[in-house]
Structure 1
Amino acid sequence: MSNDVPHPYTVEVEPLTKPEGQFGWLLRRSGKLIQRSDRAYRSEEKAREAAVEAAERDSKPGADTGRR
Structure 2
Amino acid sequence: MADEVPHPYSIEVSPLAKPEGHFQWAIRRSGTLIERSDRPYRSEARAHESAMEAVERMVKPGADSGRR
C-alpha distance in 2 between matches for 1:30 and 1:67: 13
Q: Structure 1 residue 20 and structure 2 residue 20: aligned? A: yes
C-alpha distance in 2 between matches for 1:9 and 1:18: 27
Structure 2 counterpart of 1:56: 56
Q: Structure 1 residue 34 and structure 2 residue 52: aligned? A: no
Aligned Cα RMSD in Å?
Answer: 2.0
Unaligned runs of at least 5 residues, structure 2: none
Identity of aligned residues (%): 66
C-alpha distance in 1 between matches for 2:26 and 2:17: 15
| Shift, 1:6, TM fit | 1.1
Aligned with 1:33: secondary structure? Answer: strand
